[in-house]
Amino acid sequence: MAKSKIAYFCQSCGFESPKWLGKCPSCQQWNTFVEEVIEKGGSQAPAWKPASTSQQRANKPVEISAITYSEEHRLPTPDKEFNRVLGGGIVPGSLVLIGGEPGIGKSTLMLQLALNMPGQKVLYVSGEESERQIKMRAERLPAPHPEGGVKNSGLRNPEDLQARPSAGGCYILVETSTQNIFKQIEALEPDLLVIDSIQTLHSAHIESTPGSVSQVRECTAELLRFAKETSTPVFLIGHITKDGMIAGPKILEHMVDTVLQFEGDRHHVYRILRTIKNRFGSASELGIYEMMGEGLREVSNPSEILLSHRDTPLSGVTISATLEGMRPMLIETQALVSASPYGTPQRTATGFDTKRMSMLLAVLEKRCGFRLGVKDVFLNITGGIRVEDPAIDLGLAAAIISSHEDIPIPFKTCFAGELGLSGEIRAVNRVEQRIAEAQKLGFNQIFISKYNLPASGQDKKRMDLSRYNIDIKIVSTIEEVFSLLFG
Ligand SMILES: [Zn+2]
């Protein structure tokens, strides 16, 4: 028996090192290295590749004009939100990661898709649940989409299969070994493969436990080869923990073509499916679902989510269009301004820098004449999110004044602007993405800075605000914002 070979992997980014390191040279994190056994055996079954073609096919250089290019043929799904985040349907041979916290509904989303792909043979591989559990869950799912055609003809077990049927269907395979999965794939020849989840898979080529960095990397690499060589789309479900990411998904993001993130609060009914990376389309798409007792329902009119929270506008509450990394996000902020009964006014901010809050208050006092120095001020960003984006300034300032004056901000109004010391509203980055998000979520008006508009006529075409179906209020000073809001 060969001596087992070990390596150390950064659990944060997947960096591999022959020895333990205190600090990761790739992602600069401390104490992230964990030992993993990666002994490679020579006698195991091959990873993806039928034996006959196991020889590496060498590519030859091709003169560029000789390369024929055709528009990608995409496979539309009956789920419009899903098509949207993929950029118009499933691309053959693509490897798509669906990430999200455990229990958020990733399996439900994918099982629903597997059951509703008209005329397609879908193999759903689960290492998480038994066949019986999946069958029970499938029976609770809603009837097929009205335009989606037929629901796949129930669940079948690949072992029952004698001849290869040409018709579609959803097949369930409870298996965690990639070699066994590929054996079944060769027999079944599915049109679409779903893996639930990548963290449960293990390859015989790697000794370490399922879910470890080296296993996740190896299994993904095998599935990637399978997807590319057979042009079969593969969906991988990957779990992400609440406090950031576990090792797997971070490395996975680099390897796959498309990363979708399924987000939401387990205690709330709405779920958001976001595109984080997409080689075949825009990376800022988002789809919205409602989690019903019997599955996920597409939400075609997203404003219903925001309207359902409150039926009367409240003072001190505003919505800001922020960006988290590359992702646009609409965040509710609340302010409470009240007379200070004691000598020293209290200033508390949750999810926002207190120093920056003092600056906002000083600008409002100096430029707009609100006497905030003698008031208690509390700021809260809902959802427990910490916001670094300065574009939230304008929304917060509006919330403070709304609470101070006890006048609610009009419904479906949101803000994106940074506040300067002289009371000017500064430009924010990616303003069009914020406008698009506000429009997508059903807002009526958005306040943005005048300085976000191109100065001369030459750039006018690049930024055409008339294509938005939302009232864009262009402001340059904080005084202007308040006269527009409160008259
Ligand atoms: Zn690292």
**Residues linked to residue 137 through DSSP beta bridges, in sequence order:** none
Q: Between β-strands 327-339 and 375-381, what pairing exists: parallel, antiparallel or unpaired?
A: antiparallel
pLDDT tens digit sequence for 438-449:
888 788 999 999
Domain topology for 75-300: Rossmann fold (3.40.50)
Neighbours of ion ligand 1 (CB under 5 A): 10, 12-13, 15, 24, 26-27
Contact 154, 180 (CB under 8 A): no
CA of 244 to the centre of ligand 1 (A): 14
- Rounded to 10°, the helix 106-115/131-140 angle is 80
CA of 385 to the centre of ligand 1 (A): 25
The annotated binding site is made up of 100-107
Token representation of residue 166: 């040409």
Asked whether the whole model's pTM tops 0.95, one would answer no
| Conformation bin of residue 393: beta by default, left when phi > 0, alpha when psi is -120 to 50 | alpha
Domain boundaries, the chain: 4-39, 75-300, 306-454+463-486
Q: Amino acid identity, residue 272?
A: I
Largest pairwise CA distance in the chain? 85
pLDDT tens digit sequence for 268-293:
677 888 888 899 887 767 777 888 87
Token representation of residue 338: 């009240």
CA of 17 to the centre of ligand 1 (A): 10
CA of 466 to the centre of ligand 1 (A): 45
The annotated binding site for ATP is made up of 100-107
CA of 24 to the centre of ligand 1 (A): 5
CA of 250 to the centre of ligand 1 (A): 10
Compute the radius of gyration of the chain from its Cα atoms.
Answer: 27
CA of 260 to the centre of ligand 1 (A): 22
- Rounded to 10°, the helix 213-230/247-255 angle is 30
CATH no. for 306-454+463-486:
3.30.230.10
CA of 254 to the centre of ligand 1 (A): 13
CA of 328 to the centre of ligand 1 (A): 26
Q: Where are the alpha helices (DSSP H) in 200-302?
A: 213-230, 247-255
Residuewise pLDDT in 10s, the chain (487 residues): 456 778 898 887 788 889 999 998 888 888 888 888 776 554 455 566 654 444 556 778 888 887 776 666 888 899 988 998 898 899 999 999 999 888 889 999 999 999 988 888 999 999 989 999 999 888 888 655 444 334 454 555 555 444 344 467 899 999 999 999 999 999 999 999 999 989 999 999 888 888 888 888 899 999 999 999 999 999 999 988 665 555 556 778 889 999 998 887 666 677 888 888 899 887 767 777 888 877 888 876 555 554 446 667 788 988 888 875 555 778 888 899 998 887 788 888 887 888 999 999 999 999 888 888 889 999 987 755 567 789 999 999 999 999 999 999 988 899 999 999 999 999 998 898 889 888 887 889 999 999 988 766 555 556 777 888 899 999 999 999 988 988 7
